[in-house]
């Protein structure tokens, strides 16, 4: 069995049942390639992990913001409990190097895609929950997501960066036309990648790559927000 000790230290939890962790790192493509059934992959764990993270992050926001209503709490939770934030944590934990993928998926760079990493993070949290219970899962989630929660509450993270960039470009003292251009697309139909650049009028702001045009534009806009504020400070 794989030595997960380094990962466990980074995660903040040591497993009693290592097979749960192995299941969390097993992608459907690996299972199908080895003649197994879909239930042997991490998909079922993802289902539980998503619910556990939803509950714990929701409770944390509820306690942090006792005067805020349901709408605010739902919005903040959606910012934290999303593919982008989970994938970011997964990369910090170097989860990609433990993933068991089918050969085709591995060759296509599946170990570093946002969706695969985010799903794996959810599966790992479910494994913690089954292995150690609610408090262990809560401790693990807050250790790895508290920074994201704090940034969301402080208004430093946005659910829709494209809308945020467009909003900034139309505030008082700033009147710029924001344009996204697809500069390249490649790969087979089931695994395309898109390169996108964004400009404020004719001023280049940022570029990014995504698995869809929408994904690439959001990543591009996220990188562009900070650059826009540097180039066009509030007057």
Q: Are 205 and 227 in contact (CB under 8 A)?
A: yes
In angstroms, rounded to a whole number, what is the distance separating the alpha carbons of residues 177 and 165?
10
- Give the CB-side neighbour count of residue 178, counting CA atoms within 13 A: 22
Secondary structure class of 204 (helix, strand, coil): strand
Helices (H), 42-186: 43-64, 70-80, 83-92, 103-107, 114-132, 134-153, 161-168
**Cross-strand pairs, 100:** 26
Q: Are 78 and 151 in contact (CB under 8 A)?
A: no
Closest Cα partner for 49 from 104, 111, 101, 120? Answer: 120
Given the residues 50, 114, 131, 217, select the one marked as catalytic. 50
Respond yes or no: is residue 217 known to be catalytic.
no
**CA end-to-end span of the chain, whole Å?**
59
Respond yes or no: is residue 184 known to be catalytic.
no
In angstroms, rounded to a whole number, what is the distance separating the alpha carbons of residues 192 and 189?
6
Given the residues 23, 46, 60, 122, select the one marked as catalytic. 122
The catalytic residues are 50, 122
């Amino acid at each position: 069995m794989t030595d997960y000790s380094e990962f466990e230290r980074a995660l903040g939890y040591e497993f009693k049942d290592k097979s749960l962790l192995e299941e969390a790192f097993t992608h459907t493509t690996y299972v199908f390639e080895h003649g197994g059934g879909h239930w042997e992959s991490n998909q079922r764990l993802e289902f539980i992990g998503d619910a556990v993270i939803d509950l714990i992050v929701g409770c944390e926001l509820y306690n942090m913001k006792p005067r805020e209503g349901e709408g605010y709490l739902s919005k903040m939770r959606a910012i934290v409990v999303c593919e982008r934030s989970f994938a970011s944590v997964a990369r910090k934990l170097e989860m990609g190097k433990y993933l068991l993928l089918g050969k085709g998926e591995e060759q296509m760079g599946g170990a570093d895609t946002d969706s695969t990493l985010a799903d794996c993070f959810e599966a790992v949290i479910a494994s913690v929950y089954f292995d150690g219970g609610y408090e262990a899962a809560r401790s693990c989630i807050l250790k790895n997501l508290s920074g994201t929660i704090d940034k969301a509450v402080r208004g430093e993270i946005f659910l829709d960066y494209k809308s945020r960039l467009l909003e900034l470009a139309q505030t008082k003292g700033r009147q710029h036309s924001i344009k996204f251009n697809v500069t390249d697309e490649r790969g087979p139909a089931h695994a395309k990648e898109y390169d996108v650049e964004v400009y404020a009028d004719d001023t280049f702001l940022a570029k990014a790559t995504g698995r869809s045009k929408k994904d690439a534009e959001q990543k591009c806009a996220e990188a562009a927000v900070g650059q826009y504020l540097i180039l066009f400070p509030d007057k």
